[in-house]
Structure 1
């Protein structure tokens, strides 16, 4: 069976102001390889800053890489826009935002609109599927988005994201605001989608409760390296994370004993953190950086 998600020798570094990886900057993701088939459920775990969100965004077509590095349903995640427009590839991230003219990019969804209008305003939806999701997530159709709590807004977001059937679903800490019952109901529903519809799901989370028998695969990210284990054992995950934490503490202690800073210095001139582009601007905010070109972020050499 052909894999629905395939990563081959993925190497990625966030670009600088010129659209290219800064010289000497270490890659965040390096030589990563793994694949998943239809019906499989993958848990993506790792410490903060390990690269989980970056991997999901690359798979979701939000970062441009060489087409040979990432294939979703046999197509390039970034270059084949029909993957996301068709709904075959669905990405649900931790933040629910939109672009607003003259206000900027990534503005939080806080408009005065009812949950009913948002959910019933999506066309081409199976009414039975919509009703099932509303029931599973316990969405009150009278909720007003500008008054709803974080958990209520999250339920509406998830419900909208799952209204149409998908073949590959990417979840980035999406259940963090849900209560125990809503989270358990959602995980049961997603497991059924994989079994009955052959969907493939990658779920990044720090909350392992109730996941003992949910995933079929686990991808562990540590310092840009991946380790694949099957099946998932909660104690194994905790042991990996503790080992990684202890190793980081040991390295910081050794650096301090040698009179070095606890953390590596930022590379001079990299501008990885602030690339000079602000919301709502068409030009760079860094003087002398008027020109900008996007990078394919192909294999670093």
Structure 2
């Protein structure tokens, strides 16, 4: 079943466009003809069970893997032909932690700023601003290994936004966090969309991370099975809840 839906309103700049993307490992298909698009200020949840292909899709968008079939454009720039410009417009929070635990929060952010060509002064100003929004301004001098899991995730989000991208990718960002930390993280990223116009692609297998106003893209066995608002998915599947709709769209998925 391949269902489609979408949000309505005034045209907005396209932050991410994926067209007809397919990918295989050793001849085994992992993604099959995946297409999706995100506009500025849009929060889209890439919802799929474990093994659906979410991390592979993120690896292709960030070019950890090279795609041969299909097209990926970030901020209007083709990822293969204009890689530098495309990467400058995206921030990423990977599923696995990537901060250097032996460096302080400030040092981690300064290093990221330098990679993006920022002067130390500009990097410091932006770091202070992002950390203040995350209530982490008092932790600049702490080594990452002394932070909680939720605090480390907040630092990774601050780092991902330091170069002011228009697209933020988050791959299962709440893995290992307690309920309160998960809720706070979801709320903060939604505020980024509303207040700064950042487009967000949030990958998860957890239904309770989806908010009623979110756009949902259901990925199962490497294919987009549905996309649209929560109400659209309920109407298209006949499900009474998002959980029920998800089960109908992902038959045979692990419970």
Whether 1:172 aligns to 2:171 is yes
State the distance in 1 between where 2:253 and 2:207 align: 23
Q: Determine the structure 2 residue equivalent to 1:163.
A: 162
Q: Which runs of 5+ in 2 are unaligned?
A: 1-10, 114-119, 235-239
> Shift of the alpha carbon at 1:157?
2.3
Q: Is the 8 A contact 1:63 1:78 kept in 2?
A: no
1:202 matched residue in structure 2:
201
| 1:206 positional shift | 2.7
Corresponding residue of 1:64: 66
- How many matched pairs? 227
TM-score between the two structures when normalised by the length of structure 2 = 0.73
1:239 is the counterpart of 2:244 = yes
Computed over aligned residues only, the root mean square deviation of the Cα atoms, in angstroms, reads 3.1
Change (3 A) 1:165 1:184: farther
**Which consecutive residues of structure 1, in runs of 5 or more, have no partner in the other structure?**
15-21, 98-107, 250-301
1:1-301 map, 5 Å: 1=11, 3-14=14-25, 22=26, 25-66=27-68, 68-83=70-85, 86=88, 88-97=89-98, 109-111=100-102, 113-119=103-109, 122=113, 123=120, 124-125=122-123, 127=125, 130-138=128-136, 140-209=139-208, 211-213=210-212, 215=214, 217-232=215-230, 236-243=241-248, 247=252
- Rounded to whole Å, the distance in 2 between the matches of 1:26 and 1:171 is 26
Aligned in 2, Cα 1:189/1:152: closer, same or farther, shift over 3 Å? closer
**TM-score of the superposed pair, with normalisation by structure 1:** 0.63
The 10-residue stretch of structure 1 (203-212 or 5-14) with the greater mean CA deviation from structure 2 = 203-212
Distance in 2 (alpha carbons) for counterparts of 1:212 and 1:84: 29
Q: Distance in 2 between matches of 1:155 and 1:47?
A: 24
Measure, in 1, the Cα distance between the counterparts of 2:65 and 2:95: 17
Question: Does the Cα contact within 8 Å between 2:105 and 2:140 map onto a contact in 1?
Answer: yes
